[in-house]
Structure 1
Amino acid sequence: MQIFGFLGYFLGYLLWALFYVFQNFGIAIIVFTIVIKLVLFPFSVKQQKSMAGTARLSKKQKELQEKYGNNRQLLQEEMNKLYEKEGVKPMGGCLTMIVPMLVLFGVFYAVAYPLTNTLHINADSVNKAVAYIQQIPGYASSANPAYQQIALLRVFPNIANTEAIQGLFSAADIDKIHLFSNGFTIFGGVDLLMVPSDFGFWSWYLLFPILCFVSNVGSQFVMQRVNKNQMNQQQGCMKVLMYALPLFSAYIAYSVPAAMSFYWIISALLSLVQSIILAKVLGPVQLNAKSEARHAALMFENEAKVPYVYAPQEKAVASVNNKNKNKKKK
């Protein structure tokens, strides 16, 4: 949890900078997601190469399984030799799928604790302010204990001028919180600070977990069609993440602020576009063509290094040709 909290604290700087520019948290999340995708792009390329490389070697893998199927140790050794020879890392995609998950948890901590992790306001002052609003008559004490900072952010415009709040925060912090609290509305009235589970199943906010599920399932479906048999060649850890992620996203999206779900939806859509492009550029067909071109170039280079040895008849013909050339010159 401390690691995720640190990630949230670090990512909060970028979120706040983007919010300060656009004055809207929804737009800030969209730009934030694009930036994160660009930073993680090398990991995505590595994952695609691992998938395509494994698919490209599927025929050779089957041949080795048929030949050494009764000897697992020897089969594994031959598989490793094949991977090393072709420059393929079959497990290379697992780590590249874990990294975005770590970023996801970091975003959660930035959204769930907006005052300390995004605005980076003194935690002691924030905790005292949370304790203060819990003593206000009529305060919604049913608020989720994990999202007390969000609750404080929502009621802050109504208590900003009280003596208690003025004594806890500086004028600059109060202005910053004011600005931040007014920037979470998108699409004309959807509050990204709201938690769908607080409204039950009969609310427009239920669309966030539904869209999380649909966007992730749709993304995986299109990726399977684009990558064809690459998906069938993946290792177990990647398959579990790939099929469990949509259900996991819907379950989590129901119980976290809508801003978190919004990030997840935008991330899934961008991943879909990115996967289509990478599959076209780094698919098995393209990798096969590059591999064959590399082998052909290597063979040509090796042949160029070997001196040509004339056969006896070729030597005689070459000698006659040289004599004729010398006569012409004379």
Structure 2
Amino acid sequence: MQIFGFLGSLLGYILWGAFYILKDFGLSIIVFTVIVKLILFPFSVKQQKSMAGTARLSKKQKELQEKYANNRQKLQEETSKLYEKEGVKPMGGCLTTIIPFLVILGIFYAVAYPLTNTLHLNSEDVNNALSYINTIPGYAASVNPTYQEISLLKVFPNIMNTEAIQGIFNAQEISTIQMFIGGFNPFGVDLLAIPNEFGLFSWYTLFPVFCFASNVGAQLITMRINKNQMAQQQGCMKIMLIGMPLFSAYIAFNVPAAVAYYWIISAVISLVQSIVLGKIFSPAQLTANSEARHAALMFENEAKIPYVYAPHELKSGEGANTKKKKKK
């Protein structure tokens, strides 16, 4: 948790910089997510190339599996040779998956802990403020401990003039928190609201609905782009197509809308990125590029072979000054 909190604090500087310019948390999340996606873009490209490369060789790999079905050691050797010959690293996407995953957790901590990781207020002061508002009757029982900082922002306008809060934060910090709170209502939507507090049929329920839809859409596009590889996945992996988005929708229903809003924006941008990378680094495109490189290499090697003149050409004086070499 400390590692993710540290990452969240670093990424919080990007989020705060965007907010300081735009004064709108909704727009800041969009800009923030785009910037982070750009930073992680090289990893995304490498991951997509690895997936597409593996999918491109799926047919040849299947032939090897049928040919060496009773010789596992030989199958591994031939498969390794195939990957080496085609320049594909089947495990190349592992590290590129882990790093973005760690960063995503850091982003979550930047969004879920806005006072300590985005505004970078003293954590002891924030904890003292949380301890104070937890003494307010009925407050502590209605707040998820993970999102108390967001909930503190929600009630801050009602308590900022109290002696306790005035003693914890200085005037500049209180002014900064006020400005920050003012940016949580893009297009009239309260991003500090928790959907389950408004009931299942409230329009705030659209947050978990969109969260579910965007995550399913992103996964479906990814599966369509890499269908040959995805077809090899086990049934339990395919269950994740619905299971994880349902889980994210459940979480989005029970947390402040700001967190769900980030998930939706991140999923939409990931969806667009998957479509673009899928067209550039599709299995068919990689095959075409590989064949083009192979053809270019053949032409280059042929160009290096010297021309051997026939006897009648030499007699007629053609190539007289050319050194004759043995024909290959």
| 1:278-314 Cα distance to aligned partner (Å, 9 max, x none) | 222211222112111211222222333344455xxx2
Percent identical across equivalent pairs? 68
Counterpart AA for 1:49:
K
User: Paired residue for 1:287?
Assistant: 286
Q: What are the equivalent positions in structure 2 for 1:261-276 lying under 5 Å apart?
A: 261-276=260-275
Maintained 8 Å contact 1:209/1:249: yes
The equivalences for 1:204-243 within 5 A come to 204-232=203-231
What aligned pairs does 1:20-99 form with structure 2 within 5 A after superposition?
A: 20-99=20-99
Q: SS of the counterpart of 2:90?
A: coil
- Letter paired with 1:79: T
AA paired with 1:41?
A: F
Counterpart residue type for residue 317 of structure 2: N
Instruction: Map 1:193-204 to 2 at 5 A.
Output: 193-204=192-203
Q: Deviations over 1:87-119 (max 9, x none)?
A: 112232343333333233222222222111111
Q: 1:159 offset after TM fit, Å?
A: 2.1
1:176 Cα deviation after fit: 0.6
Which range moves more in the overlay, 45-54 or 301-310? 301-310
Unaligned runs of at least 5 residues, structure 1: none
Letter in 1 for 2:266: S
296, 299, 316: which is aligned to 1:321? 316
- Alpha-carbon contact 1:111-1:257 (below 8 Å) kept: no
Question: Where do residues 5-20 of structure 1 align in structure 2 (5 Å cutoff)?
Answer: 5-20=5-20
> Retained in 2: the 8 A contact 1:107–1:260?
no
* Structure 2 residues without counterparts, runs of 5 or longer: 322-328
What is the Cα deviation at residue 317 of structure 1?
1.0
Aligned match of 1:3: 3
Cα 1:146/1:267, change in 2 over 3 Å: closer
The answer for the alignment partner of 2:132 in structure 1 is 132
Contact 1:94 1:237 in 2 (8 A): no
Q: Tell me what 1:305 maps to.
A: 304
RMSD between superposed Cα atoms in Å: 2.7
Partner-residue secondary structure (3-state), 1:322:
coil
State the TM-score, normalized to the length of structure 1. 0.87
Deviates more, 1:42-51 or 1:194-203: 194-203
TM-score by length of 2: 0.87
Offset from partner CA, 1:105-135 (integer Å, 9 cap, x none): 2222222221111111111111112222233
Partners of 1:112 and 1:149 within 8 A in 2 = yes
